Structure 1
Amino acid sequence: MFKNAIVRIPGHSVIDGIDDYAQLGKPNFDKARQEHADYVKALESLGVTVTALPPLETMPDSCFVEDPAVVSTGKFAVITSPAKASRNPERDEILPAIQQIYDPDHIFYINAPATMEGGDVMQVGNTIYIGLSARTNQAGINQFKEIAEPFGYTVIAVPVKRVLHLKTGVTYMGNNKLLVSGEYIDYPTFSDFDQLKVPADEAYAVNCIANGNTVLMPAGFPKVKQLLADAGFNITEAHMSEFEKIDGGLTCLSLRY
């Protein structure tokens, strides 16, 4: 479980966020701001204390705070190295918030030419799965491994072929339950998990946030909602239509610790 989260309020520039996959048109700014505000309320309803950072108009994708930093272990933080040039300045902008949580000797950095984005990092206990994707290269995984192993973590690389990030295709729900879609259904690396298989027509909803026995999921996906309910989860929904248009999901919008 997590008790705290960091978010960044989207600026008007969010309408120009990167869209490499969705191809659903530009976001509506007013609707995006409302969805983000409702997302914060949903986190708070789970008993989470949320710190909201101000908008960054020069960085359209900066509301996706999960990508420029990794804080999930609780033992250390990593400032990542986003692959897209427009996103790399987000490293410096997220750092002050991370410095409020971690001592300097527990903050580490992924350095170019290595690339890494937090959307590719999925922690399950003392194992950290990292997507080898269009946004995270092998050098990035190697650097993260050098950071994580002294803290007792095992790092496993997972190829990402059809989606943006690892957590675009698989998210951990706790209690050995894994929400999986597409290329990760019956994937050998995850064979020891209890797989909750998301149907192809609701694949976007694989990106959920579990906090104890409650799951925050995107609104409008009844099959996944039933799948989670059958697995014994309490469900909270949040509308994500405008962030879906710029390749964003629920986990992307917060750093949880």
Structure 2
Amino acid sequence: MKKRLLTRRPDPTMGAAPEEYPRLLGADVDLPEVEYDPARALRQWESYVEVFAKAGWDIVELPGTPSVVTSCFVEDSAVTYRTVALMTRGAVRHNETDSAIVREQLEALGYAIANPPPKAYIGGGDVQYLMGTVHVGRGQETNAQGVAAVRRLFTALDLRVVAVPLRGAPYLRKAATLLPDGATIGNPDLLLDTRVFDRFLPAPEPAGASVVALSPDEVVVSASASGTAALLQNLGFKVTAVDISEFEKLDGCITSLSMRLRDRV
């Protein structure tokens, strides 16, 4: 299976204007006193990318967008399935320059591009799929029209679409992510109803709600989620922990730093 990782290195100016974080990251996010270390963030990003490279993923590094606080969070820009890419436009996290760069790269890779309707807001981190099911978060980033747009597109591709009402989470992948075996791991405090998932596993700590599947038996978690790492290892998964603490200061998670492209699911 061909696997590509679209990613963008953090810009050195990230963290230079902390008073802008609440506006860029959401009305309920208050990070005015964050002390962000750009040099450390770059080292963390390099370690993150190295994990995927060693696992056989092709790394596609996107051009930078200087001085954009969220520019390294490329997951915000689009959602892909097989050869179709839905360009996203979150209600809070959205940058036209970032979107244009991602769109150009996806077109170069042969993806057919779909655009949401004008009044539809869809956060890239609100949409995830596995085993024929698409989950779409309904919260700060994705509105009702956005959920409807996701449902129309993916049901036409013979996928089951399940809306997930969020409670305080900025986007779905901060609240819950899918494990390779089809179960969902997440933070029940950020979900209005965990029964929307077929199988739900509470994460021992908040950062453990965000997991990336490397392969059918391998996952990547944040180094700040040691309890979750131990839990997943006990369930038979190979677990790699990566320190992303600088990005977590900006409300990012382990999925935010890349867009994972697979030629089949």
Find 2:202's aligned residue among 197, 212, 218: 197
- The aligned counterpart of 1:97 is 105
Q: What is the root-mean-square deviation in Å for CA atoms of aligned residues?
A: 2.0
TM-superposed deviation, 1:86: 5.6
Structure 1 position 30 matched with structure 2 position 39? yes
Find 2:123's aligned residue among 111, 117, 136: 117
Structure 1 position 188 matched with structure 2 position 192? no
Structure 2 SS opposite 1:77: strand
> Deviation string for 1:227-252 (max 9, x for gaps)?
01111111111111100011101111
- The aligned counterpart of 1:206 is 209
Structure 2 SS opposite 1:67: helix
TM-superposed deviation, 1:100: 1.7
Structure 1 position 81 matched with structure 2 position 89? yes
Q: Greater RCO between the two (CA within 8 Å, min separation 6)?
A: 1
Distance (Å, rounded) in 1 between the aligned partners of 2:9 and 2:115: 24
1:129-148, aligned counterparts within 5 Å? Answer: 129-148=135-154
- The aligned counterpart of 1:220 is 224
Distance (Å, rounded) in 1 between the aligned partners of 2:94 and 2:88: 14
Tell me if structure 2 keeps the 8 A contact 1:148–1:155: yes
Find 2:175's aligned residue among 169, 175, 179: 169
Tell me if structure 2 keeps the 8 A contact 1:196–1:227: no
Distance (Å, rounded) in 2 between the aligned partners of 1:231 and 1:2: 26
- The aligned counterpart of 2:245 is 241
Structure 2 SS opposite 1:14: coil
TM-superposed deviation, 1:156: 1.6
Letter in 2 for 1:179: I
> Deviation string for 1:203-228 (max 9, x for gaps)?
11221101221111111332111101
Stretch deviating more after TM superposition (48-57 or 128-137): 48-57
Structure-2 change in CA distance of 1:89 and 1:83 (3 Å):
farther
Letter in 1 for 2:173: K
Structure-2 change in CA distance of 1:186 and 1:29 (3 Å):
same
Structure-2 change in CA distance of 1:22 and 1:247 (3 Å):
farther
Identity of aligned pairs, percent?
25
Distance (Å, rounded) in 1 between the aligned partners of 2:192 and 2:231: 15
Distance (Å, rounded) in 2 between the aligned partners of 1:19 and 1:115: 15
Distance (Å, rounded) in 1 between the aligned partners of 2:118 and 2:67: 22
Q: TM-score of the superposition, structure 1-length normalised?
A: 0.90
> Deviation string for 1:117-158 (max 9, x for gaps)?
110012022211100010111111112222222211222211
Structure-2 change in CA distance of 1:169 and 1:86 (3 Å):
closer
1:4-19, aligned counterparts within 5 Å? Answer: 4-15=4-15, 16=17, 18-19=24-25
Letter in 1 for 2:4: N
Runs of 4 or more consecutive aligned structure 1 residues displaced over 3 Å after TM superposition? 16-24, 183-186
Distance (Å, rounded) in 2 between the aligned partners of 1:171 and 1:67: 15
TM-superposed deviation, 1:2: 6.4
Structure 1 position 63 matched with structure 2 position 67? no
Distance (Å, rounded) in 2 between the aligned partners of 1:142 and 1:14: 34
Letter in 1 for 2:152: E
TM-superposed deviation, 1:84: 2.7
Structure 2 unmatched ranges of 5 or more? none
Structure-2 change in CA distance of 1:150 and 1:165 (3 Å):
same
